[in-house]
Amino acid sequence: MLGNIGFKMINNDQTYVIERTFVAEQARGQGLAKKMTVFFLEHAKAQNKTILPLCSYTQKYFAANPELEHLLFKQNK
């Protein structure tokens, strides 16, 4: 395995909580984390799911791509 995104579901299976993004040492520096993240977010969007990013990589990805803000889980207060 070269990499994976660790997640769990909350909010009646409507929200992915991304806990980690892992890329094996031999595959680092090749953009794999970004490719996995883009694929994961496209899948979530197609499924009408939201994302709660706990993973620092995913948080930085959302910060760098504000056009994806609509995918973020917004907790009711």
The answer to whether residue 21 sits within a structural domain is yes
Catalogue the long-range contacts made by 20-29 (C-beta closer than 8 Å, 24 or more residues apart).
Answer: 20/55, 21/55, 21/57, 21/58, 26/2, 27/2, 27/3
The answer to whether residue 36 sits within a structural domain is yes
Total of domains in the chain: 1
Q: What is the CATH number of the domain that holds 23?
A: 3.40.630.30
Residue range of the domain that includes 21? 3-71
pLDDT digits 0-9 by tens, 50-77: 999 999 999 999 999 999 999 999 987 5
pLDDT digits 0-9 by tens, 2-43: 999 999 999 999 999 999 999 999 999 999 999 999 999 999
The answer to whether residue 77 sits within a structural domain is no
